[in-house]
Amino acid sequence: MNGRDVFEYALVRVVPRIERGEMINAGVLVYCRAQSYVGARVHLDEARLRCLDAEVDVEGVRAALRGYQGICEGGDRAGQAADDDPGRRFRWLTAPRSTIVQSGPIHTGLTADARREADRLLELLVR
């Protein structure tokens, strides 16, 4: 990897009560075409989540977050997306949806190492 490559990222948000619109950040999706990379990093702060909804299905949220990670990893864990290229998996994950676990808007940046960028963004924006 010489220099820096354009990458895209989106936060993964948990919105336990869609009608209220309150959310917490629970992960980040990173895609870099030049590095053929798509990855998800997640961290669920259960205490913060329960502040928004004391009866939230935490295990359901964790399962959905694992699903995001599985789709990024590809292979058997990606289900129907197993044969899709990284960009197509990223676009599918970042498509707007009205569910408890959803992605935010896409942002861009430059990076020499998309994997490290995913770790950095998780620390900066989620933890």
pTM equals 0.91
Query: For position 77, what pLDDT does the model report?
Result: 75
Percent of the chain past pLDDT 90, that is, above it, reads: 78
Of 76, 101, 87, 84, the C-alpha closest to 35 is: 87
3-class DSSP state of 115: helix
Residue 78 pLDDT > 80, yes or no?
no
Tokens of 10: 């989106």
| Total Cβ atoms within 10 A of residue 40 | 25
Alpha helices for the chain (secondary structure H)? 46-52, 58-73, 86-94, 114-121
Q: What is the mean pLDDT of residues 23-35?
A: 97
